[in-house]
Structure 1
Amino acid sequence: MTAVEPPRERAPTWPGYAEVLGRAAATGRGPDGTELERLRSFGEQVAAEGTTLRGLVVHHLSRARETWPAGTAEDDRVLVAVQLSVEALCEGYERAQRLAVRQQESARREFVDDLLDGRGDPVRLPERAERFGLRLSHAHAHAVATAEGPTPYAEGDSVPRRVERAVTGRFGERHVLLTTKGGRMVCVAPGGERQVLRYFAQRAHAAAGGGRVAVGRPHAGAGGVARSYEEALQILDLAERFGLEGPVLHTADLLVYPVLTRDRQAMAELVQATLGPLLEARGGPEPYLETLTAYFDAGCVTTRAARRLSLSVRALTYRLRRIHQLTGSDPTDPRQRYPLQTAVIGTRLLSRPDRAEHVP
């Protein structure tokens, strides 16, 4: 029974193929170095023209069978020539594929940097974005996951790949961009599809075994993407300085912090005027600043704040009275509490953790 061959994809033949096979059958000599390089170049050429690797290989195997010299059925010299020729074709084809991948990766990296840094051509950027599944005419928001561990995230690392597979597997690849920048994972999604960002945050947190995710507010257009990204980075920085709790932080919920940082001179004056008297306290201002921080973070509940500081309620109450005496402001009085709380926040905003000096 004759086997029925499936239809084959049309593919071009390397011009010197029949000559190489005939010579191999007659003399036992396979393709030389020059011919192998020509085969590689031909493989690159047909790859660029759209021929598939399968089509190229199947076609040349078929041509080998058609041109098989008579009387050499048991001689493997022709098969050796076929093998060398097909290997060279595949090497050239794969070389073209690697070049295309590198060019695509380079174009994607350049686009990501232009998009997130806000420096791309505002006219061409939306056109470039279409290639990567984004429509910048819509509002977009960002979620940025910090990398916890000995090394930052990089493109192609196992954790970003795992998160990307999870997100695209659930929501598809259109209108969502996942990448890395500055050692962090970044997800860009339409502002109206917050479920994408929520799921990204969950998967990023789980895949890293911890870490923190910040979500910027949605803003319209290409410039809005950069603005949302900058907001998310700012919240990550503030979360690090303030020890803000929670794996996912939303810029919209923490707008008071960026507002307080806009006028550093006014904030410094408020800190000095409100908390300056604590400098005269015996033992320095640190115990009182820690007391105020714990008290405000505990929602002004004395028992909870005392537990956070490992103090008795009586000791904490004494410190609060002493703060009242030194500053003239009673932290337990709602009417006097706000300046103190704002000034305590200001001490964190005005002093980075990696600096030696502290305010006041």
Structure 2
Amino acid sequence: MPEPSANEAHQDAGHDARRGHRAHAHAATLKRLEKSSGSLAAQAIARMDETLSWYRAMPPENRSWIGLVAQAGIAAFTEWFRHPDAPQAISTDVFGTAPRELTRAITLRQTVEMVRTTIEVMESAIDEVAAPGDEGVLREALLVYAREIAFATAQVYAQAAEARGAWDARLESLVVNAVLSGEADEGAVSRAAALGWNSPEHVCVVLGTAPDGDSELTVEAIRRAARHAKLQVLTGVLGARLVVIAGGNDNPLAVAKALIGPYAAGPVVAGPIVPDLLAATRSAQAAAAGLKACGAWQDAPRPVLADDLLPERAMAGDPAAREQLVEEIYRPLEEAGSALLETLSVYLEQASSLEGAARMLFVHPNTVRYRLRRVTDVTGWSPSDVRSAFTLRIALILGRLADGDPQS
């Protein structure tokens, strides 16, 4: 191997000398940084206690963790100044000393104030810490480090937010699925409370088809609509269905209209109002049965109430709808007297003709008219309306079947 020439050897010696001079200068500054790191951390903590009211109000445990973060930040700067070109995980070096719960104890704004205070203390001590002639180098290094620590702070809080968001989404999906499957219990109520559900008095479930695309965007659209309508919601996309448990309004149709925007084309069904989350299963089952039977009513409005689909649900085999029709229509008419049941039956059989019903009953048409008004008062359904007449007819059929079945 050829030996270097005299000129090359002289150049190498010059490079080594310059490298040695720079290393010696930085070594002095590094030595001073290492010696003063403890006092700088103490000054930063004292400055925080003096200027940051939220820091003074924190419990001792959290303040001690913040002190450790400040010390780790100064130590990480010393190491970074020692090897500025070496790849380093500043977020791990600085924030790795504190527990994950600290990101919940202090906000991002408070963390920025903490970092700013620490950097200001270090900047004010540059003239004392830096070796003669190294003040500019140390100040420039501190500026670059401040930028890096700012990015690291944002990264820590972004990762914490993503983790919380993913966990909250899974938790919310569990609650929604429990309500829809009829398995809601006190555990589901506790999980909902952890998500911010404040147990509103009026709760209903709205079901429809979920749109194609990112389900997270759909959920966020539901949340925006809920905030605008001043509703509390728990929502999720389960298979092809978009499920919303809404609270804070005693009008289910108004709730469905306020939230209908993110749903895909097709029927949207609102279940009845129930008192709380535990009872929301009843609303969810009614909405699911209504969504299944909605195709039988071609002119159904959008959105539609599950109770407006009672006849279709009953014909589709929904036992709750059958029971509701019997208990809310047939039984009250039966208790009001046989005249109302007989008049309603004859009126419907006579194609809703007052005169025809009067002839069959041997009464005046005004008597039929009066009895039909009584039917409306008792049931809430008007025999003169085509849709209501259909519901009343199904209720009469189911009531007669129930009376004729000894097991009913």
TM-score, normalised to structure 2's length? 0.51
Q: Partners in 1 of 2:257 and 2:303 — Cα distance?
A: 8
| Structure (1/2) with the larger helix percentage | 2
Q: Amino acid of the residue matched to residue 168 of structure 1? A: R
The separation in 1 between residues aligned to 2:221 and 2:312, in whole angstroms, is 33
* TM-aligned CA distance change 1:113 to 1:77, over 3 Å: same
- The answer for the alignment partner of 2:243 in structure 1 is 186
What residue is the counterpart of 2:61 in the other structure? none
| Larger-Rg structure | 2
Q: Give, in whole Å, the separation in 1 of the partners of 2:70 and 2:171.
A: 32
Partner of 1:307: none
CA distance in 2, matches of 1:258, 1:125: 28
Q: Among 287, 308, 323, which residue is 1:232 paired with?
A: 287
Work out whether residues 143 and 186 of structure 1, in 8 Å CA contact, stay in contact via their aligned partners in 2.
yes
Residues 212 and 38 (structure 1 numbering): CA distance in 2 closer, same or farther, change over 3 Å? same
% identity of equivalent residues? 15
The one-letter amino acid paired with 2:151 is E
Matched, 1:74 2:131: no
Once the two structures are TM-superposed, the CA of residue 87 in structure 1 deviates from its matched residue by 2.8
Give the direction of change, closer, same or farther, for the CA distance of 1:17–1:130 in structure 2 (3 Å limit): closer
Tell me, yes or no, if structure 1 residue 111 matches structure 2 residue 175. yes
Deviations 1:72-96 (A, max 9, x none): 5533122223333343343233323
In structure 2, C-alpha distance between the alignment counterparts of 1:237 and 1:221, rounded to whole Å: 24
The alignment yields a C-alpha RMSD, in angstroms, of 4.0
1:141 aligns with 2:204: yes
Q: How many residues align?
A: 256
Which residue of 2 is the match for residue 283 of structure 1?
Answer: none
Within 5 Å, which residues of 2 pair with 1:151-300? Answer: 151=212, 155-158=215-218, 160-173=219-232, 176-190=233-247, 193-194=250-251, 197-206=252-261, 210-219=265-274, 222=277, 224-262=279-317
| Structure-to-structure mapping, 1:20-35, within 5 angstroms | 20-22=76-78, 27=82, 29=84, 33=88
**1:124-162 deviations in Å (ceiling 9; x for gaps):** 3333333342538x5632222334x6x27x64224x533
Q: Deviations over 1:15-44 (max 9, x none)?
A: 23333434666x563775366532242466
Q: How far is the alpha carbon of 1:214 from its aligned partner?
A: 1.0
Partner of 2:348: none
> For the Cα contact (< 8 Å) 2:204–2:270, is it kept in 1?
yes
Aligned mates of 2:167, 2:72 — CA distance in 1: 31
Stretches (4+) displaced over 6 A = none
Q: Could you tell me how far apart the structure 1 residues matched to 2:89 and 2:264 are?
A: 54
Cα gap change, 1:227/1:63 in structure 2, threshold over 3 Å: closer, same or farther?
A: same
Structure 2 residue 74 is matched with structure 1 residue 18:
yes
> 1:193: Cα distance to partner?
0.9
The whole-number CA distance in structure 2 between the counterparts of 1:209 and 1:155 is 12
> Whole-Å Cα distance in 2 between the matches of residues 24 and 142 of structure 1?
56
1:255, 1:55 → 2: CA distance?
56
Q: In 2 relative to 1, CA 200–178 (structure 1 residues): closer, same or farther, beyond 3 Å?
A: farther
Cα distance in 2, alignment partners of residues 232 and 259 from structure 1: 13
**Aligned residue identity for 2:245:** V
Q: CA deviation at 1:259?
A: 2.4
**Aligned amino acid, residue 184 of structure 1:** R
Distance in structure 2 (CA, Å) of the matches to 1:67 and 1:30: 21
Match of 1:110, as an amino acid?
Answer: L
Output the CA distance in 2 between the equivalents of 1:23 and 1:261.
Answer: 73
Kept in 2, the 8 Å contact 1:43–1:92? The answer is no
Structure 1 unaligned blocks of 5 or more: 265-298, 301-337, 343-360
CA distance in 2, matches of 1:198, 1:117: 23
TM-score by length of 1: 0.57
Unaligned ranges ≥5, structure 2: 1-47, 56-65, 128-132, 320-350, 353-389, 395-408
In the alignment, which residue of structure 2 is the partner of 1:102? 166
Residue 48 of structure 1: how far off its partner (Å): 3.7
Task: State whether residues 30 and 81 of structure 1, in contact with CA within 8 Å, keep that contact through their aligned partners in structure 2.
Answer: no
Which structure ranks higher in relative contact order (CA pairs < 8 Å, sequence separation ≥ 6)?
1
* Aligned position for 1:351: none
1:118/1:223 contact within 8 Å kept = no
In the TM superposition, residue 223 of structure 1 has moved relative to its aligned partner by 5.1
1:271-305 CA distance string (max 9 Å, x none): xxxxxxxxxxxxxxxxxxxxxxxxxxxx99xxxxx
